Amino acid sequence: MTLLEQRARVQTFSPAVEDFILRFQLQQPRLPAPALRGTRHAAVLIPIICRKEPTILLTRRSDQLRKHPGQVAFPGGAADATDASIIATALREAQEEVAIEPGQVHVLGTLSPQDSSSGFQVTPVVGLLPVDVTFHPAEDEVAELFEMPLQEAFDLARYHTLDIHRRGIHHRVYLSWYQQQFVWGLTAAILRQLARQVEA
């Protein structure tokens, strides 16, 4: 039984969501996974809300945070010794940051890990959320929540590159915008990675 057949028993997806699920499951990554330098593990949840036209939930981090203040991000963070898996890390962090209950997330799978500027190997976990899900951002961590339409996120023309050489190492940084939000760094790279995997 396919995922769509299993889910049809409890939820009817819009054609746009069904199309995304099929493309995510059937398409192989277009590029091999990069060699990673990070030694610590972390995970983020890519929360896709199953609206008629699906959206991706993003956060803007609090300006008071010591690391990456004010940046647009996915819910996520470092792996904990008590986490059963890297997927469990993403679900735990999403619950802590925006109160998404793990039972509300239907995990589709993961993308290849990417290096973060802070020395982590970050695994993106793709999960579907029901339309009626509610969010309660942790005030000390999250300044704002917003949704980006999947169609917008998958427009590869919106991602611009900036090449940086630091300490003898080449870094390619991706930059993008959505409405008034500046999306860059690892978040933009992960969105682009997902877009490239599912593009027709």
Q: Which residue has the tokens 């889910």?
A: 7
Q: Report the C-alpha gap between 111 and 133 in whole angstroms.
A: 24
Domain assignment present for residue 188? The answer is: no
Per-residue pLDDT band at 173 (split at 50, 70, 90): confident
Strand 160-166 with 169-178, pairing: antiparallel
Domain assignment present for residue 130? The answer is: yes
H-helix or E-strand spanning residue 180: none
Kindly report the CATH number assigned to the domain that includes residue 83.
Answer: 3.90.79.10
Burial of 108 (0-12, 13-18, 19+ CB in 10 A): middle
Domain assignment present for residue 18? The answer is: no
Domain assignment present for residue 149? The answer is: yes
H-helix or E-strand spanning residue 159: none
Domain assignment present for residue 115? The answer is: yes
Domain of 83, in residue numbers: 39-153
Asked if pLDDT for residue 46 goes beyond 60, the answer is yes
Q: Report the C-alpha gap between 189 and 46 in whole angstroms.
A: 12
Beta strands in the chain (DSSP E): 40-49, 55-61, 72-73, 76-78, 106-110, 114-115, 120-129, 142-149, 160-166, 169-178, 181-184
Domain assignment present for residue 81? The answer is: yes
* Number of structural domains in the chain: 1
* Maximum alpha-carbon separation in the chain: 54
Chain centroid offset of residue 101 CA: 16
Q: What pLDDT, on a 0 to 100 scale, did the predictor assign at position 10?
A: 46
Strand 40-49 with 120-129, pairing: parallel
Kindly report the average pLDDT of the chain as a whole number. 85
Domain assignment present for residue 29? The answer is: no
Phi–psi pair at 16, nearest 5 degrees: -65, -40
Q: Report the C-alpha gap between 86 and 74 in whole angstroms.
A: 15
Q: Report the C-alpha gap between 9 and 2 in whole angstroms.
A: 12
Q: pLDDT for 56-91, tens place per residue?
A: 999 988 767 667 666 899 999 999 989 999 999 999
Number of DSSP helices (H) and strands (E) in the chain, helices first: 5, 11
Kindly report which listed range (14-28, 29-43, 103-117) carries the lowest average pLDDT score. Answer: 29-43
- Top pLDDT among 13 and 55 is at 55
Domain assignment present for residue 26? The answer is: no
